[in-house]
Amino acid sequence: MSKGYKGTVDYDTFWSLDPRNQPERLLILYKKYRSKVTDTKKKFIPWLFFVLFKCTWFTFTAGVLLTAVFAFITISDPLFLKLIINAAENNYPLWYGFTLVFTAMIISWAKFSIMCRSDFYGLLAYLDVQSILMNVVYQKMLKLSASAKVKYSAGEVVNLLSTDVERIRNFWYNLLDFIYAPLIVSFLKF
């Protein structure tokens, strides 16, 4: 909004993507990392996930770190509840109970903010993976031979490939849950 006061506002001001998430850049990164993986002599089976991670490392790593912080902060809820109950049962001063409740409220707000930001980064990585895979799929479809186009219709190929892309991108988004669950269980054990 401050841009409108300082100068003119145009279409690109509000609808331009961060350069890190633009499809052109993501495709360049994909091709670069894929050529590095396919040029090696080793047989590296999950090359696609390795390449996708390299292309979306910032957003995925930010989501993972925020998920770890969220899991750590989650253990504060039962601790504060125990302290509040202890303060009420043992007739601690009123200011002590209010301080505990206010601190628990601030920590709960911080936890919610961290969770939202973690979901944002997870969704951003999810959309980046979708952008990369859909562009690669359509580029490969343009290179299909005439005999391959006769055997399968374009709609059938698009349907099959978009289903596969959807499964991979859903895995990418749900990967944060596979990190969160063991962390919360391990933190709650202590």
pLDDT score, position 15:
65
* Phi, psi at 53, each rounded to 5°: -65, -40
Within 10 angstroms of residue 17's Cβ, the number of other Cβ atoms is 13
pLDDT score, position 18:
74
Rounded-to-10 torsion of CA 131, 134, 137, 142: -100
Q: Which amino acid is at 177?
A: D
DSSP 80: H
Q: Which of 60, 81, 26 is nearest to 172 (CA)?
A: 60
Q: Against a cut of 0.85, is the pTM above it? A: no
pLDDT score, position 11:
67
In the chain, domain spans: 2-189
Pair of tokens at residue 187: 């933190």
pLDDT score, position 45:
60
pLDDT score, position 166:
83
Pair of tokens at residue 145: 């031979």
Q: Domain 2-189: which CATH class?
A: mainly alpha
pLDDT score, position 109:
94
Pair of tokens at residue 80: 């504060």
pLDDT in single tens digits along all 190 residues of the chain: 555 567 676 766 666 667 777 788 888 888 888 887 766 666 656 777 888 888 888 888 898 899 888 888 888 888 888 999 999 999 899 999 899 999 999 999 999 999 999 889 988 888 888 888 888 888 877 777 777 777 777 777 778 778 888 888 788 778 888 888 888 788 777 6
pLDDT score, position 14:
66
